[in-house]
Amino acid sequence: MKSGDFTFGVVSPAGPTPPEVFDAGVAGLQKLGFGVKVFPHARGNCGYLSAPAKERAADLISAWSDPEVDGILCARGGFGSAHILPLLPWERMKKRQLPLLGFSDVTALHLAMDRMGAGRPITAPMLKFIPDLDADSLDAFLAALEKRDGEFDGVETLAGTGVFSGRPLAGNLTVTASLLGTPYFPDPSGRVLVLEEVGEPLYRIDRMLTQLEQAGVFAACAGVVFGEFTEGNFTSAELRELLFRVMERSCTSAVIKYPFGHELPFRSIDFTATLAVRNGKIARLFA
C-alpha cells in the first residue's frame, strides 16, 4: 500500500481536540502522503464531547459510506464512543470491511465492531499522536493497514506458560469492563485479550480486573497481553503483583511489557490478525 493511494476520513466519536493539535495531526498525515477528509463535526467542542451523539454518529456513518474514504482515523479518545453504538446501522456497515483506527475510548467502537462483524478494528495512534510517531510506531501503524506479518521481541511471561495464540481483543481496561453486559461485548472464547490503562489508581484497576475475572472473560480467553499502565501512582512491582494474582486465580496465561498504551512507542493491533505468543515474542500473522 502506498500512502498516496490511501485517504483517511477523520472523525471525533468521543472528546474534542484542541484546534492546534487537530491541525498538526492533519498536517502530519499529509506529510506522510495520506489523503485526509475531515468530517463536519470532527473539529467540534461540546464540553467533554466533540458534538451531540447524533452528530458524532452521523459523521461516522458518512465516513463509512464515503467511497473516497479508505480508512477512518479517530481524532482522540476521552469519553463518548459508547453513546453512538445504538445509533449505528450495523447491518449496513457489515457490507464494507473498512479499517477504523484509534484506541482508549475508541475501544467501545472496536469491541462493538468485532461483536457485530463490521469493519476492521485496529488499535493505533490517533490523530493527535501522528506528528510525534517514532520509526517503530509508524512502521507498526503502516504494517497494520497493509496486513503485514511482523514480530515483537521483548514481552515477559507473567503467569502460566506464556505460550498462546488467537485473534486479539485489544483496548482500554476501563472501557472494556464498561461494555460487559451490553449487546456490544464480543465472545472472548479463544481470543487474546490485550489491555492497557492510564490514570487509574491500583484499587480501581483491581476492581475492573475482578469484574472481568468474575464475568468469566479471563477463563474463556486464550491468554492475556498486558500493555502499559501509566500515570497511576503505583510502582511497577505493585502492578505486577496485582496482575499476577488475578491471572493465577483465573488460571490464565499472561505476558507483560507490550508497547501498547497512552505513550509512544505504540504497536498497532489489527483484530483480524492472529497474535502468537511464545518465548518472549509476539508474532502478528495474517491468513
- Interatomic CA distance for residues 21 and 96, integer angstroms: 30
Domain ranges of the chain: 3-132, 150-285
- 123-136 pLDDT, tens per residue? 999 999 999 999 99
Q: Which of 196, 197, 200, 228 is catalytic?
A: 196
Whether omega before 19 lies within 30 degrees of 0, making that bond cis, reads no
Short-list 75, 60, 50, 66, CA closest to 113: 60
In one-letter notation, the amino acid at residue 218 is F
What b-and-e string marks burial along 100-121, b requiring 16 or more CB atoms within 10 Å of the CB? Answer: bbbbbbbbbbbbbbbbbebbbb
When the pLDDT of each residue in the chain is averaged and rounded to a whole number, the result is: 97
Told to judge if 196 belongs to the known catalytic residues of this protein, a careful annotator would answer yes
Told to judge if 228 belongs to the known catalytic residues of this protein, a careful annotator would answer no
Asked if residue 3 has pLDDT above 70, the reply is: no
Higher pLDDT, 1 or 154: 154
- 13-52 pLDDT, tens per residue? 999 999 999 999 999 999 999 999 999 999 999 999 999 9
User: Following DSSP, what letter does each residue of 251-270 receive, concatenated?
Assistant: T--EEE--S-SSSSS---EE
- Interatomic CA distance for residues 269 and 140, integer angstroms: 8
- Say if residues 184 and 117 touch (Cβ distance below 8 Å): no
- Interatomic CA distance for residues 284 and 120, integer angstroms: 15
Predicted local confidence at residue 287, as pLDDT = 76
Short-list 161, 173, 179, CA closest to 209: 173
- Interatomic CA distance for residues 150 and 143, integer angstroms: 8
Helix or strand run (H / E) with residue 212: helix 202-214
- Interatomic CA distance for residues 35 and 271, integer angstroms: 24
* CATH 3.40.50.10740 applies to domain 3-132: yes
Helix or strand run (H / E) with residue 282: strand 281-285
What b-and-e string marks burial along 172-206, b requiring 16 or more CB atoms within 10 Å of the CB? Answer: bbbbbbbbeeeebbbebeebbbbbbbbebebeebe
Q: What are phi and psi of 273, to 5 degrees?
A: -85, 175
Asked if residue 230 has pLDDT above 60, the reply is: yes
Which residues lie closer than 8 Å to 224 by C-beta, 6 or more apart? Answer: 192, 193, 194, 195, 218, 247, 252, 253, 254, 255
Short-list 221, 178, 223, 219, CA closest to 197: 178
Told to judge if 110 belongs to the known catalytic residues of this protein, a careful annotator would answer no
Helix (H, G, I), strand (E, B) or coil at 102: strand
Q: Which of 104, 137, 178, 253 is catalytic?
A: 104
- 170-228 pLDDT, tens per residue? 999 999 999 999 999 999 999 999 999 999 999 999 999 999 999 999 999 999 999 99
Cell numbers standing for residue 69: 474514504
CATH second-level architecture of 150-285? Answer: 3-Layer(bba) Sandwich (3.50)
Predicted local confidence at residue 82, as pLDDT = 98
Break the chain down into helix, strand, coil percent, rounded to 5: 40, 25, 40
pTM for this entry = 0.96
Q: Which of 200, 228, 262, 268 is catalytic?
A: 262
